Amino acid sequence: MVIVQSYALAVFMCFITMLCWGSWANTQKLASKEWRFQLFYWDYSIGVLALALLLAFTMGSIGAEGRPFLADLSQAGSGALTSAFLGGVIFNLANILLVAAIDIAGMAVAFPVGIGLALVIGVVTNYIATPVGNPVVLFLGVALVAAAIVMDAIIYGKLPMQENKSIVKGLVISVIAGVAMGFFYRFVAASMAPDFANPQAGLLTPYTAVVIFSLGLFLSNIIFVTAIMFKPLAGEPVSPRDYFTKGSLRLHLIGILGGVIWSIGMSFSIIASGAAGFAISYGLGQGATMVAAFWGVFIWKEFVNAPKGTNKLIVGMFVFFIIGLGLIIYARVA
């Protein structure tokens, strides 16, 4: 299988992860006027699983190092499979709440609060389990990202009342999503062998772990998405038959594209973790908050009606994010 040995290449892949994780929700925004997010999410989960399988049968099945995907799957222990699958279930719950928060509060709020909180929790839990990098530099970077999250919440609170009428619901859902999302990565990491080139028996290689994770995500939709179709967090209930009767090919493809984009990010993050360490790989990927905030502020104009002086806070938010991400990168070599 293809294995990344270079830290520089691993960082590059983590930046791709950051771009993918910060951009996939644009597909949901594109479809939201015609397509309820509960229906969009079915296509999204199909895209996640399809890309994971594609990489497993290509990059995960060639090369002299590691184990090919099918051989790795056949020897996997129940504990490793359960851990990766549970990671998918936990992520799915968190991500559904995040998508709901985007629907209610917008990308520029839901992503910095939800994913930013997930970054803080995820870096801490992954570093405790696998301490790679200078902890002082790493956690200083995380602290700056946390400060940017607070600044984003302050900006949101400055919107006129007609703009922030769902502020409490949007922020609460974002926080719950962030807490849950902060823990999913550790379950996937725990399912994998520490040495990708010479994987321990019973544990998984990165490509297999991502496939099992994606299965957990897809199958848990039966419970989570069905529940919010009948009892949505916002808006009217959605009929399951609408997925087949009201969705055009374009809408289905937009949802699948969103899943593919996110899955590229997840796969690259897991593959890069061998050279970068789980805490740094996850932390850099969750720099998606900055990317998503950029989309929300500059493309979707979600803060266009904010009062004067807000621009300074927006600039400060991005500065804190950039410096924080730089410190997270530097922590590996400090």
Q: Is the pLDDT of residue 3 over 90?
A: yes
Q: What pLDDT sits at residue 162?
A: 45
Domain boundaries, the chain: 7-330
Least confident range from 54-63, 66-75, 164-173, 178-187: namely: 164-173
Q: Pick the residue with more confidence: 77 or 107?
A: 77
Q: What's the rounded Cα separation, in Å, for the pair 212 and 199?
A: 17
Q: What's the rounded Cα separation, in Å, for the pair 280 and 276?
A: 6
| Per-residue pLDDT tens digits for 220-256 | 999 999 999 999 877 789 999 999 998 999 999 999 9
Q: Where are the alpha helices (DSSP H) in 37-134?
A: 37-57, 69-75, 78-105, 107-110, 116-129
| Per-residue pLDDT tens digits for 36-52 | 888 999 999 999 999 99
Q: What's the rounded Cα separation, in Å, for the pair 214 and 212?
A: 5
Q: What pLDDT sits at residue 77?
A: 98
Q: Is the pLDDT of residue 303 over 80?
A: no
Predicted structure pTM score: 0.87
SS3 for 192? strand
